[in-house]
Amino acid sequence: MNATLKDIDEETKLKLGEAVLEKIGQGYTLPEEILPYISREGGYQYITGSPLTSVDLVLETQPFELPDEVVDTIADALDNISDQWVPDL
C-alpha cells in the first residue's frame, strides 16, 4: 500500500510543517540579518541572487511534493515573519 502526502492526517501535516520550518531556519534567514544595506544603491545588496518569497522558499527546500494546504500554511507562517528570504551565508 503506497500512501501519499495527501493521505496524511492533520496531526501529521502539523508535524511535517514544523519540520519544514526547522529546516528552513537552518539554511535561510532574513535579508537584514546578513546583507549589506546601501540606501544610495537601492537598499539591500543581494549578493546571493534575488530573495525568495515564502512559497518559493518552501518549495525549494523540500525534496518531495507537499500538499498545497501544507505549503500555504507554512508560507503564511513565514510571511508573518518576512516576505523575503535569503540563503544564510
pLDDT (tens digit per residue) in 7-34: 677 888 788 888 888 888 889 999 999 9
The per-residue pLDDT for 5 is 56
Q: Where are the domains of the chain?
A: 7-87
Residues forming beta bridges with residue 28, ordered by sequence position? 87
Residues forming beta bridges with residue 86, ordered by sequence position? 29
The per-residue pLDDT for 4 is 55
Distance CA 71, CA 75 (A): 6
- This prediction has a pTM of 0.76
For a pLDDT cut of 70, what percent of the chain falls above it?
Answer: 91
Instruction: Give the residue-averaged pLDDT of 61-81.
Output: 86
